[in-house]
Structure 1
Amino acid sequence: MRPWNKNAFGAHFGGSLYAMTDPFYVLMLMPQLGDQYYVWDKSADIDYIKPGKGVVYAEFHINEAMVDDIINNTASGEKYLPEYSVVVKDKQGDVVAQLNRTLYVRKKKRHR
């Protein structure tokens, strides 16, 4: 936590918790899918569970089943909007926020 991301109550500013989860699923999936796909963030929602103070962190996981799911659902050239959950925790492991992130994935026209 820094002065520029602390709110009036001494906790992490909610927008900072939201933003800290923004690019990771896209950045993790792009090398898995290659340049044949568009992979963008589409939307997200956040549920603030408790004030986050001090160090907070989030874990992101991509597995083969997730990549296969995307490939199967975009094979015909249609867009696919997979949803992934992210949990932000504090140093003690308590949940600070729960997010649901929706991506936009589509196979590029020249690769359909």
Structure 2
Amino acid sequence: MKNKIIGWLNQPRFLRHMMNWYGPYRGAGVKIRHLADDFSSATVQMPLRWYNKNYVGVHFGGSLYSMVDPFHMLLVMNQLGSEYIVWDKAATIKFISPGRGTVTAHFEVTEAQLQDIREHTQSNEKYLPEFEVEVLAEDGTLVAKAYKTLYIRKKPMKNAVQ
């Protein structure tokens, strides 16, 4: 029964719904608009509101970062499956232009990226791939670029002969 519950919790539709109600996201105004059924992509938006704007009237940098924080890890870990350990290792965000109005970030993890990860981890070595995502304004202006480094390793096999 426990596995059924865990499986149910990891369904894209349920996960999207729960993340949209998650306190820090609600507080920042972040909304997950799309989460692919196969976890290959996600789209996140954040409108400019009084509670997520900074002193000079544009998107607060912390809110911009929070809207992009977990998605590469979530997409990769759900596509690779339970035999892998996937963690956020490092992150950098570069603010390019002021964020006004609604900003959007689209995440995608391709089959080629997954194959690269599988190849680099097949001998149980850690792998630290970097992913990039752009945060765009409604008119397509680049607001920020975020870079996420993930820590990925195959889980040790239980009862493996050493």
**Ranges in structure 1 where 5+ consecutive residues have no aligned partner:** none
Provide the alpha-carbon RMSD of the alignment: 1.3
Structure 1 residue identity aligned to 2:79: Q
| Cα distance in 1 for residues equivalent to 2:64 and 2:90 | 15
Fraction of identical pairs, as percent: 52
- Corresponding residue SS for 1:3: coil
- Corresponding residue SS for 2:153: strand
1:94 alignment partner, one of 119, 129, 141: 141
Q: Look at both structures and tell me which one has the larger radius of gyration over its CA atoms.
A: 2
- Give the alignment of 1:75-94 within 5 angstroms: 75-94=122-141
- Corresponding residue SS for 2:99: coil
Return the TM-score normalized by structure 2: 0.66
Give the C-alpha shift of residue 52 in structure 1.
Answer: 0.1
Mapped pair 1:40 → 2:115: no
Matched residue, 2:116: 69
| Cα distance in 2 for residues equivalent to 1:55 and 1:36 | 38
Comparing both chains, which one has the higher relative contact order based on Cα–Cα distances under 8 Å and sequence gaps of 6 or more? 1
**Ranges in structure 2 where 5+ consecutive residues have no aligned partner:** 1-47
| Cα distance in 1 for residues equivalent to 2:53 and 2:140 | 20
Return the TM-score normalized by structure 1: 0.95
